[in-house]
Amino acid sequence: MRDDLRDRLLQFPRAPGVYLMKSTDGEIFYIGKAKDLRARVKSYLNGVDTRAFVALLDTLLDDVEIVLTNNEKEALLLEDQLVKRHQPRFNVKLVDDKRFLRLRLDPRETYPRLRVVRRFSRDGARYFGPYHSAHAIRETLRIVNRHFGLRTCSDRVMRSRHKPCLQHQIKRCPAPCVFDLSNGSYGDTVLDVVAFLEGRQSQLIDTLEAKMRRLAADLLFEQAAKVRDQIKAVRRSLERQGLVSPQAINRDVIGIHREGSELEIHVMRTRDGKPVDAHRYALTQMEAPTSELLTDFAMQYYGDIAEIPTEILFSTDIHWHDVLAQVLSEKAGRKVRVAIPQRGEKRTMAVLAARNAEQTFASSRRRAIAAQGAVLRLQRRLHLRQAPEILECFDISHLGGTDIVASAVRFEQGEPRKDGYRYYKVRSLEGQDDFAAMYEILSRRARRGLEEGDLPHLIVIDGGKGQLNAARAALEDHGIDDVDLIGLAKARPLGPKSTIAQQEYSAERVFVLGQKNPVVLRQDSAELFLLTRARDEAHRFAVGFQRKARGKRMSHSELDDISGVGPKKRAALLRTFGSVAKIRQTALAEVAAVVGEKTARAIWDGLVDGDKLD
């Protein structure tokens, strides 16, 4: 480290604030907070801080920028904002895992409905979850749809419907598309659904019981019976969850297990004393102290959820817990208690969360070891030149020769690497030719791999000898001869066609370059499972993209070809006038009232004048 930089660091004020470490090219590679800035940066110089990246500071660090704050709370908030903005490589990155699903409900709609989404947005809507599995969210939706009766149709369908659908006939929807529900009954149902999704079942049951008695007193027995069924459904939900704590409060218990730079964090969520769900997060290459990591985790985790519990318990010490409690209390608008219990029932719950984190960590480690074993066995069984630690699988998808697309999925150490997935649109073909399509896609992948120095150890082609030879030609034409290449052919029906239960199939076959006959791997082996998993993932990815491309082509409108008309304006025009034909018959002033005079003139020139010229 330069002497002038060292001297400047030692002159930092003894005050709370945030420091930003910058490299020679101006990159911010670490952001930290401190109660005493001078003491904190001094720990980097005297060897007290033993994190791996600290040893690299002599070559990495070029400058340190500080921002003073009035107190520790402001430092915590500022650090959280700066980390989210700059995403430094040595800070915690709590990425929202796409595996987690959420339910979205927008109370600003006239008749709100639940939507399943994967992303949380600050758009004024209410978000519930995340749910760790599709089964959990389906079960929740089943209860809501069956016993509460919110609409399930899209806004477009609701606006165009003129008579009730089947959901109304089976008493699962009040049909706001047809009937007038301005008496507030639908809004009351929305509030009940919100209470159910937030885990306030006890409060909800009291509300529903009062409503049931009121309806029965008014001799509205059929409606009272429906409310009774709602109460039963909520109670069954409580029975399945079981009791965690006799205290009916909202609480999160955060457990952690750490081995070196790898951590597993387990968040157990209880509402009204009942377990709701659990969230799990794996963090890798984390060199900061555990206490500091937990503070950063909590700031990011609770910064992205609408409902903050009354109490948050940690299984291990967290130095900034008092400041964290102040920040979360201000965000929640009420007191939030942050504690590290040392004894009693709460300590038992914290230990349980830590045990869950340890179990998840061990399971992930076992899966990683098993996947690495499958990689090595695949190398031995197919006589590959190198272990396929990086594997990419390619698949072609089309419908009758139209909308031809391809996909590439990437596996590293036997596990999917989602950020390495790629879509391709086949550009050189008009009709169906799987071999030519495979040649084009592998040629494009080869060019990018040579430019970026990022070629896999093994390429797997979904297909037989024809697709394999096309892929080989693409690699040879680009001078690539150090990447292993195989084809995986699906099982074929054997004998005459029969019923699904009686039909016999051949084994999955692996075609290897230079070998006349395919290799048949043992059907229950880990190496075959790795190949079929990659092939099925590539197929799923390609089919999804092909459907999207086909849907986009089929929904293409003449309005899309007019400059200045984007998706929002197109939707506004079709919502107002109904069709392109009606727009052609509409006066320019009426169109201008929807999209503005300039865009209306472009539409007039594109649709109306163009037709007159024809």
SS3 letters across 6-17: HHHHCCCCCCCE
**Measured between alpha carbons, how far is 523 from 508 in angstroms, rounded to an integer?**
8
Q: Pull the structure tokens for residue 355.
A: 């045990």
- What are the boundaries of each domain within the chain? 3-86, 101-241, 251-362, 390-552, 558-613
Q: Pull the structure tokens for residue 501.
A: 């239960």
User: In which region does residue 240 sit, left (phi positive, over 0), alpha (psi from -120 to 50) or beta (all else)?
Assistant: alpha
Residue (of 194, 230, 193) closest to 211 by Cα position: 230
Percentage of residues in the chain having pLDDT higher than 70: 87
Average pLDDT value for the chain: 81
**Interior/surface letters 227-262, b for 16+ CB within 10 angstroms, e for the rest:** bbebbebbeebbeebeebbeeeebbbbbbbbbeeee
Q: What is the CATH number of domain 558-613?
A: 1.10.150.20
* Residue 523 pLDDT: 78
Which residue carries 């595996």 as its tokens?
99
Instruction: Classify domain 251-362 at the CATH topology level.
Output: Nucleotidyltransferase; domain 5 (3.30.420)
Q: What radius of gyration do the chain's Cα atoms show?
A: 30
Strands 311-314 and 337-339: parallel
* Residue 241 pLDDT: 42
Is residue 422 helix, strand or coil? Answer: strand
Residue 342 amino acid letter: Q
Estimate to the nearest angstrom the gap between the alpha carbon of 590 and the chain centroid: 42
pLDDT of residue 135 exceeding 80:
no
**Measured between alpha carbons, how far is 465 from 482 in angstroms, rounded to an integer?**
20
- Confidence grade of residue 181 (pLDDT, cut at 50, 70, 90): confident
**Cα-based torsion angle of the residue sequence 550, 552, 554, 559 in order, rounded to the nearest 10 degrees:** -160
pLDDT digits (tens, 9 = 90+) for 48-71: 666 666 767 777 788 888 888 888
**Measured between alpha carbons, how far is 167 from 174 in angstroms, rounded to an integer?**
8
End-to-end CA gap in the chain: 75
pLDDT digits (tens, 9 = 90+) for 340-378: 999 888 898 899 889 888 888 887 888 788 888 889 999
Q: How many alpha carbons lie under 13 Å from residue 241 in its C-beta half-sphere?
A: 24
Q: What is the DSSP letter of 519?
A: B
**Measured between alpha carbons, how far is 288 from 279 in angstroms, rounded to an integer?**
22
* Residue 555 pLDDT: 66
Alpha-carbon separation of residue 363 from 262, 358, 360, 368, 543 (angstroms): 14, 9, 5, 9, 31
Average pLDDT of span 376-391:
92
Q: What is the DSSP letter of 340?
A: -
**Lowest pLDDT segment from 45-54, 409-418, 553-562:** 45-54
Instruction: Classify domain 390-552 at the CATH topology level.
Output: Nucleotidyltransferase; domain 5 (3.30.420)
* Residue 50 pLDDT: 63
Residue 152 amino acid letter: T
Alpha-carbon separation of residue 214 from 208, 217, 392, 397 (angstroms): 10, 5, 64, 59
**Helix or strand holding residue 322 (H, E):** helix 321-332
**Measured between alpha carbons, how far is 284 from 296 in angstroms, rounded to an integer?**
14
Q: What is the CATH number of domain 3-86?
A: 3.40.1440.10
**Measured between alpha carbons, how far is 486 from 458 in angstroms, rounded to an integer?**
8
Give yes or no on whether 3-86 and 390-552 have one common fold: no
- Confidence grade of residue 262 (pLDDT, cut at 50, 70, 90): confident
pLDDT of residue 423 exceeding 70:
yes
Strands 390-399 and 458-462: parallel
Neighbouring C-beta atoms of residue 342, cutoff 10 Å: 8
Contact 266, 283 (CB under 8 A): no
* Residue 216 pLDDT: 86
Neighbouring C-beta atoms of residue 593, cutoff 10 Å: 12
Average pLDDT of span 287-312:
83
